[in-house]
Amino acid sequence: YYLAQHKHIQERLIEEIEDVRKNQSDITYEVVMGLEYLDAVCSEVLRMNPPVQMTYRTCVESTVLGNIAIDKGTFIRIPIFAMQHDEKYFVEPDVFNPDRFLGKNKEGVVPFSFLPFGEGPRQCIGMKFASMSFKLGLFHALSRFSFETCSETEIPPKYHPTILLLLPY
């Protein structure tokens, strides 16, 4: 969807892929996972549309955050989608901009503001596999095709507002 909407981003990504295909005899896991712009595009897609809207944790020891006391055993809801669309953490959060995950910009991402797979010992067990599958699929798709919108493309896409997973209608 985002690549069809932003042709210049799609073209830049295709250039990176074509360059690798010309200069590498073997397209290995390391080659694909090392593509900087592919990583940035995938990260931005996951920022705009995280696999889950929120995650949950239980406080394991009483603590104070700012002026808020949180007791041990308190159930905590972490709004991933809302955080990843908050101007406090991301400039122009509703704009698709993979450059925010490149170089100095990537270093400037506030820790724990980008949580598409959660974080810590309970983060998504399939994170590495999902990341590799996403990148490899996009790599091979853009090696052969380009994405375009059509008359039936909903702009912006609509999502089910009440479920945990972020699914299009």
Give the dihedral of Cα atoms 29, 127, 129, 134; nearest 10 deg.
Answer: -70
Residue 124 assigned as binding residue: yes
- Decide: residue 168, CB within 10 A, 0-12 exposed, 13-18 middle, 19+ buried: exposed
d(C-alpha 154, C-alpha 81), whole Å = 20
State the residue for tokens 């593509």.
35
CA angle 68, 115, 49 (to 5 degrees): 120
For residue 79, what is the enclosing H or E element? none
Q: What is the DSSP letter of 55?
A: E
Structure tokens at 169: 């209608």
**Annotated binding residues for heme:** 124
**Annotated binding residues:** 124
